[in-house]
Structure 1
Amino acid sequence: MHTIDISGQLFTSTMTVVIVGLMLFMSYRLQGSNRRQAFRSLLVSLVIILFYNLLQLAIAVNAAKPSAWIVFGGKLLQVYAFIVINFAIFELYHRRRPRTRLWLFGLLVVALVIGIADFMPDAPAEAAADLAVNVRTTPVLDGFMLLLSPLFALMFAPHIGQPRKYLASLFVSFASQLTIIVGAYGFAEPRGYGTLSGLLTVIYYCLLFLLLFERVVELLQSVYRSSITDGLTNLYNRRYFMGKLEQLVRSGRPHGVIFCDIDNFKRLNDTQGHHKADIVLKQVAAILTEETEGIGLAGRYGGEELVAIVAGPSSALMQTAEAIRARTEKESLVTVSVGVRLYEAGVTAEQLMKNADQAMYHSKTNGKNRVTDFAKLKGAS
């Protein structure tokens, strides 16, 4: 057991149990809805950390005796938990590969070998006395734990979405382990350094909690984004698009709908293949996204039919529609037939889409690669 006063140990272990408990609950809920290896690894490491700190709590309140085997097991658990949790954090951003698995199990084996070599006495006759001393002075295992922080900084920090926060946690962990070594091996008064180490440990788990919380938010945002967008074009899907259009209709604010259909798309599919057709579809989708940025939103209505909402008067609607048509002709292999419909009081979202579709069909049957305003069709009839 590291040298630390009882009150400091009690504070450190209590705070760590609370923080790790919250992280464990979050990881359990995530693992239940997303069966990724990262969440299983995170759960394993957090359970180990929780068990270790519950053991320290039991020792602090005299509910358990700090025997040599218990203290040695605690040291080894601490090293194992640190290794596994860092690999789990990495796997929150990247799937586990064979090389990553090799590094993980290699470090776990090295820690076990070092721990046993440090723990076992040199001579059988001195076993009883040496066990009590060796468990508190395992310099190689303590040094190994110290070196893990810079190793993980080099291995994982460049590949994690929150590198600064992750590096800060590793720095705090390094400082905590350094204070343990300074206090345990007689470089300074152990009591003060043990307390400082405990405080740094709490800070370390707070940083890990923040890192995990932000990753959970990122994952939830990603899940929400995927539920409202089309996977191929990254445009909003039909359900979300219609919901936004209905909101605008209810608000009564000026707006209009653009309905685009890629000309000769089936022929492109048949002659150049689905892969080329998908590339073209994404190009046209990108044009819609760029042209409606700041003034509306774009969606995929179905197949090669792309739609957009534009807020503002008729002039803005027609200008955007023409820009989409012209850019598609210039920047891609295809052209688009476009129909537009400006909102009028009493018109529903479904009627807006139907009328814009009718205007698009007029463009399609009258030469393609043109923009038709439904208002002119209605006036002509």
Structure 2
Amino acid sequence: MNGLRLEDLWLGTLGAVVSYLIIEVILLLTLLVSIRLLVTRRKIGYFSITLSLFILMAQHYQLIYFELTHSTSDLAFYWAILLKLLSFLLVNLGVYQLYNPTRLRDGIVFLLCFAVTALFSLSYWYIPDWLQGSSEQIRLLRPLGIELFLFLIIFVSFLLVNPRIGQNIKYQLMLTLYFCTHVIHMANSYVFDGVQSVLTKLEQIIPMVLYIVLFLFIFERVIELMQAIYNSSIRDGLTQLYNRKYFYNRVRQHIEGRINVSVLFSDIDNFKKLNDTKGHHMGDQVLKQVANILKEETDQIGICGRYGGEEMVVLVTDTETDASKLAERIRARIEAETIVTVSMGLSRYSKNVTADELIKQADEAMYKAKTSGKNKVVAC
């Protein structure tokens, strides 16, 4: 009995089985992530991707079976190519659904694609009389219509799905790899009759890269969701400023580090009257405008937060920045660029002061500005 050679793991039946098993492992990891997302997010896109991954795993188990038995019936080969089509359609459907709400029009388009795919798949069983030939020629002709139809689906995916999703680069790479794999498969099957070992190996290796990219695509979606959840926990939904809890924790961290910081406490003047006379929509617009000015003026020198209602705060972390000049600049911009004014209070770090006391001092200074004419900055 001959010993196992290294090239056996690369070429021939054993090489093909090893390649398909590696693909199965990649698909299994992707499936586990997809199932986790489906359970936690309950979004239809994850269901479509999960179903497609099950089909892909079944398809590659079937390919392993073909390699080990060296025999394929017409029915088994038909199911193999049908699974290939269905998995591709479901992956693209799932990717689209991750970034878009499921609308009736989109549903009709995808149902139409599935229906047309089902009709084209039936061409496997119909060979026109004028194309009759030897049994080997018939074997090659049976899947030709479906194989060519797959090129059309790839093109439609580029045209319809790609412009409407995130992670476009990864998605384009997946489609390109899939296209290259299919071109190599067509060349190897219909030009070289499957005897080119290099092309056969490329048919096995490129899908590995393809499914790694798919795994990264789904894993990055997990990261996007985690970032979105984290951001929603620390930011105000309307203004996108940090919320009160996060802002307070940052002030406390700087105070504990004995950093010479300052706190600006601002309150929009006559905001209730604005809401009563011009409506809450206008009030929301003003809050966003004021928040944007705060973010622009404190970029890289501090952080901004919404403390509650129309109250917004700034932690000036850059010790080289003159906090009083910054506060006056913010006040002047709000007066010039919006329909409201703000009263602002300023407090500076001093020895033994706590975070609560520093914020309270700025709040009291703001109250003095509010009760002594408004639209001004008062330092404690």
Tell me the TM-score normalized by structure 1. Answer: 0.89
Q: Give a deviation string over 1:54-100, Cα, whole Å, max 9, x none.
A: 232344344x9643322211210111100110121122222222222
Equivalences, count? 366
Asked if structure 2 preserves the Cα contact closer than 8 Å seen for 1:137 and 1:185, the reply is no
- Asked whether the equivalents of residues 172 and 200 of structure 1 are also in contact (C-alpha less than 8 Å), the reply is yes
Q: Report how far residue 322 of structure 1 moved.
A: 0.9
Separation in structure 1 between the aligned mates of residue 157 and residue 196 of structure 2, nearest angstrom:
29
Which one of 199, 204, 208 corresponds to residue 214 of structure 2?
208
Contact 1:114 1:141 in 2 (8 A): yes
Amino acid at match of 1:298: C
The 5 A counterparts of 1:77-226 are 77-120=83-126, 134=139, 137-187=142-192, 189-192=194-197, 193-226=199-232
- The question of whether the paired residues in 2 share the 8 Å contact of 1:322 and 1:371 is answered with yes
Partner of 1:378 in structure 2?
none
Q: Residue 154 of structure 1: CA displacement?
A: 1.5
Cα distance, 1:349–1:134 mapped onto 2, change above 3 Å: same
2 CA distance for matches of 1:210 and 1:136?
Answer: 37
RMSD over equivalenced CA pairs, Å: 2.4
C-alpha contact 1:118 1:134 (8 A) present in aligned 2: no
1:121, 1:131 within 8 Å by CA — same for their partners in 2?
no
Moved more, 71-80 or 185-194: 185-194
**1:232 corresponds to which of 214, 232, 238:** 238
Residues 1:349 and 2:341 aligned together: no
The CA distance in 1 between the partners of 2:352 and 2:81, in whole Å, is: 73
SS state at 1:346 partner: coil
8 Å Cα contact 2:234/2:243 also seen in 1: yes
Structure 1 residues 17, 313: closer, same or farther in 2, change over 3 A?
closer
Q: Is residue 46 of structure 2 the alignment partner of residue 39 of structure 1?
A: yes
Out of 9, 24, 43, the position equivalent to 2:16 is: 9
Query: Is contact 1:8-1:198 (8 Å) kept?
Result: no
- Deviation of 1:225 after TM superposition, in Å, equals 1.2
State the identity %. Answer: 36
Q: Could you tell me how far apart the structure 2 residues matched to 1:137 and 1:9 are?
A: 24
Distance 1:95 1:131 in 2: 47
**Structure 1 unmatched runs, 5+:** 375-381
Could you give the per-residue CA deviations for residues 283-326 of structure 1, whole angstroms, max 9, x where no partner exists?
Answer: 00111111111111000001111011002459621111111111
1:327 equivalent to 2:333? Answer yes
Per-residue deviation, 1:237: 0.6
Aligned letter for 1:149?
Answer: I
Report how far residue 145 of structure 1 moved.
Answer: 1.2
User: What SS is found at the alignment partner of 1:190?
Assistant: coil
Q: Which consecutive unaligned segments of at least 5 residues does structure 2 have?
A: 1-10
Q: What secondary structure sits across from 1:92 in the alignment?
A: helix
SS at match of 2:99: coil
1:245 partnered with 2:251? yes
